[in-house]
Structure 1
Amino acid sequence: MNTDTKEGIWKQIKGEFKERYGDATNDDSIEQRGKVDQFIGEMQEKYGKTKDEIANKIKNW
């Protein structure tokens, strides 16, 4: 397991926390950022890429 994969798992955990915090405080922007963080974390875990590589691919879509 490389560091990008581990970072992806951690990013998913942080994203889930942000999403739940945003939901609890009715802050839609935090909730949405949490969902994005979770998605990027899942991609990092699956493909072993850096956050920046994943973000660039998403922007190019």
Structure 2
Amino acid sequence: MNNDIAAGKWKQLLGKAKATWGKLADDELMRVEGHAERLVGLIQERYGKTRDEAEREVHRWLETHGPRH
């Protein structure tokens, strides 16, 4: 899964990510720096999801909010 988001775009998407995954702290989302794999790991940890579940969730989110949009 390589759906990384450019740093500038990531900063714009932080609010949407926070709205989607409210259990993630602002500083955690900043450390993600647009790297999809880091976001998947955080979602796994905070929400107790499997790797596959978290990857699917991030993939769907990126389709809606990601770099192409």
Q: Same fold (TM over 0.5)?
A: no
What TM-score do the two structures reach when normalised by structure 1?
Answer: 0.37
TM (norm. structure 2) is: 0.34
> Between Structure 1 and Structure 2, whose CA radius of gyration is higher?
1
Structure number with the bigger relative contact order (C-alpha 8 A, sep ≥ 6) is 1
**Greater helix share, 1 or 2?**
1
